[in-house]
Amino acid sequence: MTVLPYSEYVPHDEALIIMTPARPAVRARVNVRDDPAWVRRTVIALAVVFLGLFIVVPLINVFAQAFAKGIDVYLAALSDAEALAAIRLTLITAAASVLINGLFGLAAAWAIAKFEFRGKNFLITLIDLPFSVSPVIAGLVFVLLFGLQGLLGPWLAAHDIKIIFAIPGILLATIFVTFPFIVRELIPLMQEQGTSEEEAALTLGASGWRTFLTVTLPNVRWALLYGVLLCNARAMGEFGAVSVVSGHIRGLTNTMPLHVEILYNEYNFVGAFAVASLLAGLALVTLVAKSFLEWRHSDALARWRSH
């Protein structure tokens, strides 16, 4: 018996329709180089002008004003006792905020990404709260809670505990404002990774702590690092919430942004710009560290971003 090809029974066009497996439509990739040259140049020029006017020029002006009267005056402004106290408080506050937010961020992201529980959506809403509330309002809330006339103020005063107009209040305000930066980097990645690797480690006999250190933490290290960089930068530059709770006590509760404001209001422009240049320098160091990590570990970062 001779078997004829399938195309002998079915018309050619219909055979192609039946025999060809369905494939999803592939969207053609758009190449920006296909645009006219004048369009590309115009967009690039607008971006360069915008960045130059709003970022590069102000930054250059800060350093120019800081060194306007020479290096000796600049160093004298930074070596002033009040400036050193502001620098020290800023660094302590930033370090404490990063450490505390890192620990709580890991715990909150782990709970939200790995478990289902009642009140989960409410917890996510609370995490997003600092993004929607003005830092000044956040500082005012702490004053209403812990101030002398606040809800807990009388009890704190009776036990000689100072929070508002003291370092604890500054830490609380900064931690509140910077909390979402770490946890919001961790949650999407943990949700994408699921729980299969942790379950496998537990099945093989690893303890919960060992599973966290050897499986979970290495998997989220790049998201954690990015969150730490963002948290650190925001903590050092925070002004609104800290301004409300600090009391502006010279040499005690003034951070670098608050010290810059005081010096500028007193027409000590060189001192103000000197401290501002140091603050800008710390921000640039953070940016350089971020760029170096992206260059040094580009493959690992690409895998993290693919999630």
Q: Per the structure block, which two tokens stand in for 25? A: 């439509």
Residue 303: the pLDDT is: 57
Cα dist from 161 to 123, 146, 168, whole Å: 29, 10, 10
Residues of the chain with pLDDT under 50: 1, 4-10, 12-22
pTM of the model: 0.79
Residue 116: the pLDDT is: 84
Residue 97: the pLDDT is: 94
Residue 201: the pLDDT is: 84
Q: How far apart are CA 135 and CA 139, in angstroms?
A: 6
The phi and psi torsions of 8 (rounded to 5 degrees) equal: -75, -30
Residue 27: the pLDDT is: 54
Residue 204: the pLDDT is: 84
